[in-house]
Structure 1
Amino acid sequence: MSPQRAMVIGVLDGVHLGHQALLARAAQGGLRVSAAAFFPHPKTVLGQPTPPPLTTWRARSRELRKLGARVLRLDPRSGVLETPASEFIQDLLAEHRFVRLVVGTDFRFGQHRTGTPSLLQELGSRLGFEVQVLDDVQVGGERVSSSRIRMALADADLDLANALLGRSYEVLGRVRAGQQRGRTLGTPTANLHPQTMLPADGVYVTSSRLPGGCWVPSVSFVGTNPTFGEEARKCETHMLSDPEQAIPEGAGWPLQVAFKARVRGAVRFDSPEALQQQIHHDLEIARQHHADHG
């Protein structure tokens, strides 16, 4: 006999503390958990302004699997948004045979978002599955949400963003060729233009996962390089160590950067020499942070 399954449904962007609570509740009693996540964001299909994502599909899936879930992708482009609410749940139940469905209080589903937790309760009673609607998880007296994390990142409050996530915020991408200015200044960098949201402009203590899988201490600049008049926002990361020469040459290799602490905001310097002096100071702060926090 197949083990009984519970299901969690949502966008699940960020896999933050609120999402983690849904998964933990779903797993109670030893049930196996499936996480059905909408990707891309439904608003992209509805023609509405879409918030910048906190996670790529790959990163979202990875974090969900870490929490023990089997990951299912719900593609809004497949017509699920036009499916009547009751039919959407019946189709999901027929395909995945869950005995418990766990959602948040703000969960809406089906055509015109007419499906509500109350409707889920009715459907559960009729179709034979348990419905649990979790109250909001709160941090600092306010609800944990992906929107709040985005706001914290935009406001340069990395500590709050990481607290709401329950881990360090990360970006993932492939290294692009840059202007080699970092190498000229003695601090070569790997340049990322990730598809996910970047934190507010500034310098950050980071850790970076290299293609071989090892994590190394690093320091990252997010911004537009105002000293040189560049306008495209990017993340430039300098590795503070290179174990066994693990850093590849050139561009095109994957890099994962975890943001640990904010050092300072972005500043326009009067000369490359002034920038170089500040960079050395930033590196010392980053090295000390890594030494203090392991």
Structure 2
Amino acid sequence: MRKLLILSPLVLALALGACDDTTKPAAPGGEVKTPASPAPGPPTPEDEPSDGGAEQPASEPVPPAPGPPAQPPTPPAPSPATFNHGAPGDIPAGQGHGYLDRTVWSPAMCWPLQDDAYANSQVYGHGGGMGPAGTSQCDSVNYSLPWHDTFCEARSRDNPLCAGGGTGHQGQDIRPGTCKKNLHWAVAAESGVITDVGTYTVTLTASAAPHRTYRYLHMQMAALAVHEGDTVVDGQKLGKVSNDFGGTPTTIHLHFELRAGVAGVTTDGKPVVLHTFLPPYMSLAEAYQRKLNGGTCS
């Protein structure tokens, strides 16, 4: 009668190992060398836990896969204009080349005056230094529609976007609602910091990217509502529209400038670098339309 030989698990494992032909030969020094384990790669779908993770009970629903990264909100399309304004870059003959750029460089800015106003030329309009003889800056034609763009109007100021030697008006001239100085408030176009107060200028640098720069000229400098270094919110009062221009008064108006906070290109492909003067006309037109539609600033 044969007897059965019962092997313990340890003995069995040793016996099977002796028959394993994958055992590596000993190195010359007697040490067995085994290759290093490969670095773990990214998990495959089969490796992923089906319940969403070890810390999540199977009874809970699997969380949805992450979607695409959040995108910045797209500014709403402007409402159809309900006020009459000329086309951008449309400057009468003899007043400069103008600059046709349809870009809305500041799509959500506040209208920079508290009240209604009229965008048109101070130099070539009635009562201006190059205007019709015998006229007054208070003539009603200056306080009526349509608006007119004044960016790149013929001036001696440096402006690389302007044709004819790179000089021209650096912003937009805006008359307040009436021909009265020190009455109508200019307000902050964006929240930011008052980074400079000059002889007849106030500069606002926006806090939010792309950190546009706005410059206000010809306010009542002796009675400003802000000081250099102040933090302001959009719509906050800055000062009253006047005619301060150093030692020589100008007409009663607000000269409003917009400068680039980032590099880019204009609609006709001209390069824009940091602090380039940008045509503010279309941004102003849309901001004014939002005001007419009942939009408010802080």
Q: TM-score, with normalisation over the residues of structure 2?
A: 0.20
Structure with more of its chain in helix, by fraction: 1
Q: TM-score, with normalisation over the residues of structure 1?
A: 0.20
Q: Looking at CA atoms only, which structure, 1 or 2, has the larger radius of gyration?
A: 2
